[in-house]
Amino acid sequence: MYRTHTCGELRQSDVGKKVTLAGWVQTTREFGPITFLDLRDRYGITQLNFGGAINARLKDEHLGREFVLQAQGTVIERSNKNPGLSTGEIEISIEDFKVLNKSAVPPFTIQDDTDGGDDLRMKYRYLDLRRNAVRKNLELRYAVGRAARNYLHGQGFMDIETPFLIKSTPEGARDFVVPSRMNPGEFYALPQSPQTFKQLLMVSGYDRYYQIVKCFRDEDLRADRQPEFTQIDCEMAFVEQEDILHMFEGMIKHIFREVKGIEITEKVERTTFDQAMWHYGNDKPDIRFALPIANLKTPASVYPIQRAKALKDDTSGILNAFQTGTGFPVFDDAETVVAIAAPGLSEYTRKQLDELTEWVKRPQIGMKGLAYIKCNADGTYKSSFDKFFPETELKKLAEYAGAKPGDLVLVLAGPEERTRKAMSELRLEVGNRQGLRKKDEFKLLWVLDFPLFEYSEEDNRWVARHHPFTAPKPEQISVMIDNDPTIPDPTAYLQHPYASVKANAYDMVLNGNEIGGGSIRIFQRELQEKMFAALGMSPEEALHKFGFLLGAFEYGAPPHGGIAFGFDRLCSIMGGSESIRDFIAFPKNNSGRDVMIDAPGTIDLKQLDELQIATKAPVK
Amino acid sequence: MYRTHTCGELRQSDVGKKVTLAGWVQTTREFGPITFLDLRDRYGITQLNFGGAINARLKDEHLGREFVLQAQGTVIERSNKNPGLSTGEIEISIEDFKVLNKSAVPPFTIQDDTDGGDDLRMKYRYLDLRRNAVRKNLELRYAVGRAARNYLHGQGFMDIETPFLIKSTPEGARDFVVPSRMNPGEFYALPQSPQTFKQLLMVSGYDRYYQIVKCFRDEDLRADRQPEFTQIDCEMAFVEQEDILHMFEGMIKHIFREVKGIEITEKVERTTFDQAMWHYGNDKPDIRFALPIANLKTPASVYPIQRAKALKDDTSGILNAFQTGTGFPVFDDAETVVAIAAPGLSEYTRKQLDELTEWVKRPQIGMKGLAYIKCNADGTYKSSFDKFFPETELKKLAEYAGAKPGDLVLVLAGPEERTRKAMSELRLEVGNRQGLRKKDEFKLLWVLDFPLFEYSEEDNRWVARHHPFTAPKPEQISVMIDNDPTIPDPTAYLQHPYASVKANAYDMVLNGNEIGGGSIRIFQRELQEKMFAALGMSPEEALHKFGFLLGAFEYGAPPHGGIAFGFDRLCSIMGGSESIRDFIAFPKNNSGRDVMIDAPGTIDLKQLDELQIATKAPVK
C-alpha cells in the first residue's frame, strides 16, 4: 500500500504518528523556508509542511497541480487551525517524499467552481470526475442504489439478472440492435426494459424480483435523455395495486431516510390522472406549491366528471357566465379558459406583464396572449379585459381562481389541449419566479388511474399509454373482452368503449418529475391477445413477437404487477440538480456520442464482413 | 395481497389462525371425502385439506398440476406429520378457494428430477425455473452477489456504473457491435469488460471501485461459454500486488462464510505460473489433491530454473539417465517425459489399462500411447517397458514419481507442450476416477508471476497474455523501456529480452477453475506506448484506439491495479455444478440463441434503413 492513511482521515488525536499519504497536489504555498502543500484524494485534503532540506528537494521537483505525490512524515498540530477542513487541526511535517506521477497542466482547474466549459469537461471527463461536486453526485448515486438494495432485500426481493441480448419487438421506442455473427441476417436487440423477462420470472414463481439495470432506447435525444439509462426494476406476484403502492412508498421513504436523513412520516399524497390534469394541467404535477388551475370553461367531452361537479358546486355563477357567453370574444370563442392566481404579483409593472405575455407566446408554449386581473391591495380590480368585464364580474372570477388582494390572476384561452399544457407551464414558471420550488423540499405524489389507451389518429387504432402488458381496472376487463377494439368511426373514437378504460397503472412523482411508473399486469392469455389486437397486431404478429409470453400465460401465470424507477432521474432530483448527466460517471452528449473515448466509431471492414452486413452511410 | 402467508411459513404455533395462501398446485391426493392438495410457492409447500362441500366444489374445478390457486382456511395440526417438510406439522382446513389461473399440462413435470430434456427445459425456461434445483442456484447467485457487495462496501469500495455503448477496439476477443442511427456508418461496441473505464476512474481518484456487471464477447461458444456473462469487477489505486491479493482473499472468504457457512481460516496457497506448469501442467491446477507431475525429461529452454533445481536435487540418478538415454526409444526420442503416481491403482487390469491408453490417444488429448509401472503391494514392479528398464531402474523411477506399493505410475512422452497438457488432463482424470475431486471441498490458490507476453508466430510479434494494460514486474520496467520490442529472428524469440518479462498479474483458482484474474496496471504513458508498440500497434493506431487513456495518464495517474471475478463461474463452482448455464436465469445455447424468446431474429427493413445498414446474409 502506498499510504497508511487517506487525506481525509488524520485528526488532533493522531499527533505524533508517523504516516504516509498519497494523493494529488491541490495547491502549494511558499512561505520563505517552508512550503505548504495541500494533498488531495477523494476523502479530503491534508496540509503537508515541507521545511529545510526536504523543502529544497521539493523545489527541485517543480511540482505542479495534479502531480501524484507520496509523502511520509509526522502528524503535528497546526499553529493556525482551519475549522473548515476536517483535517484542519493538523498538518504533516514531511520527512521524505516521492513523485509517483507527473501531470501536465490540466485544461481546467479541479475545483468546485471550475473554469471548464461543458464540452471541455466532457472531453476530459476523467478530470471532471475529480471535482468535489461531481464526486458527491456519484457518492449520492451509490448511496441511493445501496439503500434501495437493502430495503428490497429486507422485503424478500431477489436480484435476478435478465439478458441484454434479446429480441427486437418494435413497440414503443426504437431498439438498439446487435447483428449476430453466428446467426447471419439476424439481430439481437438491447432491452428497453426487462419487462417481459420480469413477468416470466413471476410466472416462474420468483414472487419478488428486482434489478438495478441498464436499459437502452435509440431515441432522438432531448436535452436530458441518455441512450443508455438505469432503472430500479421491480416486480411482485400475488399483489394488487395497493400492495405495490405501499411497498414502494416504503422504499422511497427508506432511501430518503438513509441517504438524506429526511424522515417522510406522512402517507404519500394520491391523485388520479384526471384530477391531476384538471387541477394542474399535468400528469406529473409539482405539488411543492398549490396554485391550482381554475377551470372557467372546458369542452364537455374531456374530464366530464370534474366539469359537472365544478358547474354544480359553483355558487358565484361565474362558470355559468363562461358557458353562456361573457361578451369578450377571446373567451367566448375559446374551447378552454383557465386561470391561476399568482400570489403577491399584483404589483407587476406593464413591462413585467408584457414580458410574461411574450413568454406564453413563445413557440414552445404557443398561446396567442395572456389576460390578467390585478387584485389590488385596496380591494379594487384592474384587468386587461376591463372593457368586457364589470368589476363585480372581475371580482367573482378572481375569487373563483382563489385570488386574494395582492395577487395577480393570469388567464389563458384557446384550444383545450394546448391551453391546459400552457397553463401547466405558466404555473411552474410562476412557481419558479416566486421561489415556490425549493431544491431542498421533497414532495412525493402518486398519480393513479391512467387511461389504458391513447388514440392514434395516424393509424386509427389504440396505443398503450403505459405498455401492452398493463391491465385494465378489474371491473373493466369485461369491457375489453366483450367489445371489438376496432374503431368504426374515427371522429367518434371517444365514444368507443375502450376510450374510457382506465388502467391499474401508477406513477410516482417527485417535485414535478416522474421518478417511477408501473402497473398491474395482464396475466390471462385471452386478455393479452385482446390487448395486442387493440394495438393493431394480427394474431400471427402477436405470436411471432410475444409467443413466449402468451405461452407462459398458459402454464399457471399468477396475478402480478411491478414498477420501475428512473435511477438517474431519482438521483438527480435528490441531488437538487436538473441534469441527469451530472449523476452519470460517463454520460453521452445529445448526439449520443461519448466525446471522451470518441464513440461510436467506424469499424474494420473485416468486422463488417464477419457480421455479413454493409453500411450504406456516405464515406466520410 | 392475495395471501396472508407464504407456503413455507406456517408452523405448529400458527394452529387456529385463519390464513389465505396462494400458489401452484403441486399434487392432489383423494382419500374418499377428503382431498389433500399440496400448494407450492418458492418458499415451500403447504398441505391443504378439502373436505365436505368444499371438496365437492374442488372436484368440479378439475384442477391439474400448476393451476394457480388462492385458498382460505384455518391452520390445523396434522394427524400424520411430515418431518421432511418445514410446514409438515400443519395443514390448512380449507373454507373457500378461487382458481386464479388455469394451467395446461406442462411439457415436463416440475420436480427435482424432471423428465424434461435440455432442449425442452430451455424452450420452457419459465417452467424450468420453477424447479427447486434451479431456484436454489439462483438463490445462491443472489446470495453470492449480495455477500460480495457487502464485503466491498465495508472496505470502502463504490459501485460506479460504466457505459455499455462504447468503442470497438479489436484486441483480444471479438466485439459485439451496435450500429448508431444518429451517427450513420459508425458503431458502438458492447464492452468485453469495463477495463479502461475502471482505470479512468482510478485516474479520477475513485480509489476503490467495483461493479457487478454484464460483459460481452462474440466468440464461437465452447461448451460452457455465454456471449453475455457477468463479472465482479474491481479496481484499487495506490496499491501493490500484495494489497490486492489480501483484499480479495478476504472477499472470497467472506462469501464462503456468508453463503455456505464455510470458514476458510488458512491463508490462500500461492504458486507461480512456472511452478504450476511444472508441477501440474496447468496454470489453474486443482489442488484438492496432490498427485504432482514428476518431470523426468524436459527441454532446457522451458522452466530452466525448475529443471536445473530438479537435476541438482536428484540423488537417485534417474533424471540423469533420462537426459543421457534410457535405451527406450519412446523416452529417448521424446522432448518431454512426465509421470504421475496414481494412488491405489496398481491392480488395474489389462482392460482398464487399455481403456486409459485409449483415453490419452483421443484427439482431444493427442498422445501416442501411455506407459505405466505397476508398483505391486509385494514390492515388485511390473511395467509396459520392462524390456528397456531393469527393475532397479523401475523402482527408482516409481519412487521419484512418489509412488508407494499399490500405486500405478503413468508415464507420457512426446513434445513438451502437448505432453504437459495431456499429463494435466490425465492427472484430473485420475483424480475423478479416484474420487479425489470432492464437490463439497473448496481449495483456493493464487497463481502469480505470469509471463507478460506470449509470442504470436503468425504475426511475429508479442501478444499480451492478460491484456495490454498489465504492468511488468517493477524491476523489469527498464527491460521494456530500454529494448526494442521487434523480434529480428523469429526462431530465436525466446532469447528476446521481452520473452522473460513477468507480469504483476495474478489468477485466483478454485478447484481447478480460474474464478478471478487481474493485474497491477501500467500507469505511465511511456510504458503504455511501449506496450502498444510491442503488440504491433503503430503510434497512430494506439492514439486512435486508446488516445483517451494515454491522455489520462498525462494528468496525474496514480499507481493502480484490480481484478475481475467470473460471477457465473464462481456461482456454479460454489453450487457444485460444472455448468454455468444452470446459474443463469435466461441462458443462451451454444449457437448464441435464446430458444425461449427465439432471439436473435430478423428485423424490419425499416429498422435497417434507419440504421443505414444492409444485411448480406442469404435470405432464408
pLDDT of A619: 60
- The string of pLDDT tens digits covering residues B95-140 is 999 999 999 999 998 888 877 788 899 999 999 999 999 999 999 9
- The string of pLDDT tens digits covering residues B240-256 is 999 999 999 999 999 99
pLDDT of B221: 73
> A335-350: string of b/e by CB count within 10 Å (b at 16+)?
ebbbbbbbbebbebee
Specify if A347 maps to a domain: yes
pLDDT of A425: 97
Q: Which domain holds residue B81?
A: 12-101
Report angle CA B436, B438, B442 to the nearest 5 degrees.
115
Asked if B451 and B465 count as a contact pair (C-beta separation under 8 A), the reply is yes
pLDDT bin (cut points 50, 70, 90) of residue A618 is confident
* Residues B316 and B383 placed together within one structural domain of the fold: yes
pLDDT of B222: 72
Specify if B612 maps to a domain: no
* Residues B355 and B376 placed together within one structural domain of the fold: yes
**pLDDT at residue B220 is higher than 90:** no
pLDDT of B434: 93
Q: Contact B618/A185, CB-based, under 8 Å?
A: yes
Chain B residues near residue A135 by CB distance under 8 angstroms: 205-206
pLDDT of B436: 95
Shortest alpha-carbon distance between residue A129 and chain B (Å):
6
- The string of pLDDT tens digits covering residues A25-81 is 999 999 989 999 999 999 999 999 999 999 999 999 999 999 999 999 999 999 999
- The string of pLDDT tens digits covering residues A518-559 is 999 999 999 999 999 999 999 999 999 999 999 999 999 999
- The string of pLDDT tens digits covering residues B475-504 is 999 999 999 999 999 999 989 999 999 999
pLDDT of B509: 98
Q: What's the maximum distance between 2 C-alpha atoms anywhere in chain B?
A: 94
Shortest CB distance from B555 goes to which of A127, A159, A207? Answer: A127
* Residues A537 and A574 placed together within one structural domain of the fold: no
Q: Contact A103/B127, CB-based, under 8 Å?
A: no
pLDDT above 70: percentage of residues in chain A: 99
Q: Does A185 touch chain B (CB under 8 A)?
A: yes
pLDDT of A220: 85
Separation of alpha carbons B553 and B528, rounded Å: 9
* Residues A553 and A571 placed together within one structural domain of the fold: no
Q: Contact B243/A101, CB-based, under 8 Å?
A: no
Asked if B189 and B203 count as a contact pair (C-beta separation under 8 A), the reply is no
- The string of pLDDT tens digits covering residues A338-381 is 999 999 999 999 999 999 999 999 999 999 999 999 999 999 99
Average pLDDT over residues A580-599: 94
Specify if A487 maps to a domain: yes
* Residues B379 and B343 placed together within one structural domain of the fold: yes
Query: Could you tell me which residues are beta bridge partners of residue A373?
Result: A383, A409
**pLDDT at residue B170 is higher than 70:** no
- The string of pLDDT tens digits covering residues A278-333 is 999 999 999 999 999 999 999 998 899 999 999 999 999 999 999 999 999 999 99
**pLDDT at residue B334 is higher than 90:** yes
Average pLDDT over residues A82-94: 96
pLDDT of A170: 67
Separation of alpha carbons A524 and A582, rounded Å: 42
Average pLDDT over residues B74-79: 96
**pLDDT at residue B420 is higher than 80:** yes
Question: Which of B52, B43, B39, B45 lies closest to B98, judged by CA?
Answer: B39
Quick one: DSSP state of residue B168? Answer: -
Q: Does A354 touch chain B (CB under 8 A)?
A: no
**pLDDT at residue B169 is higher than 90:** no
pLDDT bin (cut points 50, 70, 90) of residue B301 is confident
Specify if A392 maps to a domain: yes
pLDDT of A202: 98
Q: Contact A598/B167, CB-based, under 8 Å?
A: yes
Asked if A521 and A562 count as a contact pair (C-beta separation under 8 A), the reply is yes
Specify if A612 maps to a domain: no
* Residues A87 and A211 placed together within one structural domain of the fold: no
Shortest alpha-carbon distance between residue A427 and chain B (Å):
35
Residue B152: CATH number of its domain:
3.30.930.10
**pLDDT at residue B10 is higher than 80:** yes
Q: Does B305 touch chain A (CB under 8 A)?
A: no
* Residues A141 and A255 placed together within one structural domain of the fold: yes
Please write down the HEC assignment for all residues of B55-74: HHHHHHHCCCCCCEEEEEEE
* Residues A300 and A411 placed together within one structural domain of the fold: yes
* Residues B311 and B425 placed together within one structural domain of the fold: yes
Instruction: Using the 3D structure, point to which of B406, B437, B468 is the last residue of a domain.
Output: B437
Q: Contact A612/B607, CB-based, under 8 Å?
A: no
* Residues A432 and A475 placed together within one structural domain of the fold: no
Q: How many domains does chain B have?
A: 4
Nearest-CA residue of chain B relative to A620?
Answer: B185
Specify if A515 maps to a domain: no
Specify if B258 maps to a domain: yes
> Backbone phi, then psi, for A594, in 5-degree steps?
-95, 105
Specify if B511 maps to a domain: no
* Residues A257 and A149 placed together within one structural domain of the fold: yes
* Residues A386 and A360 placed together within one structural domain of the fold: yes
Residue B31: CATH number of its domain:
2.40.50.140
Chain B residues near residue A523 by CB distance under 8 angstroms: 101
- Beta-sheet strands, E only, within B290-329: 294-297
How many beta carbons lie within 10 A of that of residue B201, not counting itself?
Answer: 26
Query: Could you tell me which residues are beta bridge partners of residue B372?
Result: B410
